[in-house]
């Protein structure tokens, strides 16, 4: 069986597209936006709130302790969303090989002892700006795109730190880290697929 | 032409062996210990001192400024060794494709605008301990190997910080980062070779 592939990514690095292509090429399910839909069903919260809260947090003052979650009398909507999302991720991975993008999936699946290939996709700000402008051609170009990218990444990192008590982007947490800017998306897809097939056991 | 390949590595991660195999497979020169010999000729210092000072530093209180080096009246032996080593690295890379291990080569060649594939090799402490004990079977096993590995890495990181004013091991600085513990040495060699050939231009 090939491993579950988690993709952590910088905003605008093409991690979503790369993950989608990998899943297509290996004929396995792909989870990114789909996690939002399933978390909505699981938690009862609406999709818009999950999209906003499912990867970002404004609470940076404490760490969330998963192991103590069941003993808490009160959970914030954000924590409830995280726990529902965590369940969706674990259910998906337990069904068999798939590609899961972001949402602390690397940490959640490692904790659960699930066989994974953890990948980080990054690129320099120039490449990410270009990709964002190409993907969202209607974006208001008066806004400083680089600043928006940085803000998005900062919120995702805070979310990761809050729910895992680990720093996002440390090389130790990934089997493979790829610069999609210098290597190109197709090469990234090729390396990940080849590796996943090699890890077939 | 394939790029110059720089290998940054954690101590005990197999980066030296992986680099050596890559060079052999691509039929290009390999520079690790050889840099010590050539730096000795270049600087006039003995090999033993270069081995000790060529990748580690005890000066953590200031950054070395390469651009100001030629205007300095006095340089420490360590700085002289760094500058001689830098020249050896640049001369090697200017001759054509090769593999260079450590010694800030990623930073030195980037600054010089040389076409490179920058690779980071890492592994968890368990894998690194095993590899060190296998490579140095005569090592005194009463010594805490993990602590020795950490100390060696700490000194290399300080050296890198001192001469580049960058933090060692940040994913942004590498095109490719590989966990040799989970992926295995042979897979790392294969990925690097394949990528270098793809980058042939």
Distance CA A13, CA B171 (A): 13
**Per-residue pLDDT tens for B87-116?**
999 999 999 999 999 999 999 999 999 999
Q: Which residues pair with A125 in a beta bridge?
A: none
The pLDDT value recorded for residue A40 is 84
Phi, psi values for residue A133, rounded to 5°? -65, -30
Q: Is it the case that residue B139 has pLDDT exceeding 50?
A: yes
What local confidence, expressed as pLDDT, does residue A144 receive?
Answer: 84
Strand partners of residue A6: A100, A118
The pLDDT confidence band at residue B61, using thresholds 50, 70 and 90, is: very low
Enumerate the β-bridge partners of residue A176: A119, B178
Q: Give the Cα separation of B63 and B163 in Å (integer).
A: 6
Radius of gyration of chain A measured on its C-alpha atoms: 17
- Helices (H), ranges, chain B: 15-26, 33-43, 47-53, 77-95, 105-111, 125-135, 145-164, 180-183, 185-198
Q: What does each C-alpha distance from B99 to A63, B35, B54 come to in angstroms?
A: 43, 11, 18
Contact call for residues A159 and A55 (beta carbons, < 8 A): yes
d(C-alpha A9, C-alpha A192), whole Å: 14
Q: Kindly determine whether residue A174 and residue B176, on different chains, have CB atoms separated by under 8 Å.
A: no
Q: How many CB atoms lie within 10 A of CB A165?
A: 12
Report chain A's mean pLDDT, rounded to a whole number: 89
Instruction: Give the whole-angstrom CA distance, residue B170 versus residue B116.
Output: 17
Q: What is the pLDDT of residues B67-85, one digit of tens each?
A: 666 666 667 888 888 898 9
Question: Per-residue pLDDT averaged across A21-48, rounded?
Answer: 90
Choice between B170 and A78, residue whose per-residue pLDDT is larger: B170
Distance of CA B104 to the CA centre of its chain: 6
CA angle B160/B65/B118 to nearest 5° reads: 40
Residues of chain B with C-beta less than 8 angstroms from the C-beta of A191: 191, 194-195
pLDDT higher than 80, residue A65: no
pLDDT digits (tens, 9 = 90+) for B148-172: 899 999 999 998 999 898 999 999 9
- How much is the average pLDDT of A173-193? 97
Is the pLDDT higher at B137 or at B1? B1
Q: Which residues contact A44 (CB under 8 A, 6 or more apart)?
A: none
Query: How close A181 gets to chain B, by Cα (Å)?
Result: 9
Please judge whether B176 and A183 are an interchain contact, meaning their C-beta atoms are less than 8 angstroms apart: yes
* pLDDT tops 50 at residue B60: no
How many Å apart are CA B125 and CA A148, to the nearest integer?
37
Lowest mean pLDDT among A113-122, A141-150, B3-12, B177-186: A141-150
**B172 neighbourhood in chain A, CB within 8 Å:** 122, 124
A60 has pLDDT over 50: no
In a 3-state reduction of DSSP, which class is residue A120?
Answer: strand
Other Cβ atoms within 10 Å of B151 Cβ, number: 13
pLDDT higher than threshold 90 for residue B128:
yes
Q: List the structure tokens of B160.
A: 């890198």
DSSP type of residue B21: H
Q: Contact B24/B30 with Cβ under 8 angstroms?
A: yes
- Say whether pLDDT at B39 is over 80: yes
- Collect all residues of chain B within an 8 Å Cβ-Cβ radius of residue A178: 175-176
Structure tokens given for A81 = 């969303």
Neighbours of B195 (CB within 10 A): 22
DSSP assignments along B22-56, one per residue: HHHHHT--EESHHHHHHHHHHH---HHHHHHHSS-
DSSP tag of A3? P
pLDDT digits (tens, 9 = 90+) for A39-59: 888 888 888 888 877 777 655
Give the separation between CA A163 and CA A66, rounded to whole angstroms.
Answer: 8
Is pLDDT of B26 > 90? yes
> Of the spans A10-19, A156-165, B148-157, B158-167, which averages the highest pLDDT?
A10-19
Residues of A within 8 A of B194 (CB-CB) are 191
Whole-structure pTM value: 0.90
Put simply, the answer to whether B171 touches A182 (Cβ < 8 Å) is: no
Report residue B45's pLDDT band, with 50, 70 and 90 as the boundaries: confident
CA-only gyration radius of chain B, Å: 17
Torsion angle of the four alpha carbons A16, A22, A23, A25, in this order, in degrees rounded to the nearest 10: 140
Q: What pLDDT, on a 0 to 100 scale, did the predictor assign at position B57?
A: 65
Question: Nearest Cα to B22, choosing from B2, B51, B39?
Answer: B2
Does the pLDDT value for residue B14 go beyond 90? yes
Q: What integer is the mean pLDDT of A124-141? A: 87
DSSP symbol at B119: E
Chain A residues with at least one Cβ partner in B under 8 Å = 120, 122, 124, 169, 171-172, 174-179, 182-183, 187, 191, 194-195, 198
Give the three-class secondary structure for A116.
strand
Q: Per-residue pLDDT tens for A190-201?
A: 999 999 999 987
């Amino acid at each position: 069986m090939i491993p579950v592939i988690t993709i952590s990514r910088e905003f605008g690095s093409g991690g979503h597209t790369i993950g989608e292509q990998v899943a297509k090429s290996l004929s396995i399910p792909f989870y990114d936006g789909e996690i939002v839909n399933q978390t909505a069903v699981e938690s009862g919260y609406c999709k818009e709130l999950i999209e906003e809260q499912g990867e970002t947090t404004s609470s940076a003052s404490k760490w969330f302790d998963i192991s103590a979650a069941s003993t808490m009398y009160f959970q914030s909507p954000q924590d409830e969303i995280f726990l529902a999302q965590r369940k969706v991720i674990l259910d998906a991975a337990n069904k068999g090989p798939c590609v899961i993008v972001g949402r602390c999936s690397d940490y959640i699946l490692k904790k659960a002892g699930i066989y994974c290939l953890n990948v980080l996709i990054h690129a320099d700000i120039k490449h990410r700006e270009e990709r964002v402008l190409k993907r969202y051609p209607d974006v208001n170009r008066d806004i400083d795109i680089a600043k928006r990218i940085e803000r998005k990444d900062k919120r995702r990192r805070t979310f990761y730190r809050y729910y895992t008590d680990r720093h996002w982007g440390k090389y130790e947490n990934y089997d493979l880290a790829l610069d999609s800017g210098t290597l190109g998306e197709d090469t990234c897809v090729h390396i990940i697929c080849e590796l996943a097939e090699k890890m077939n056991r």
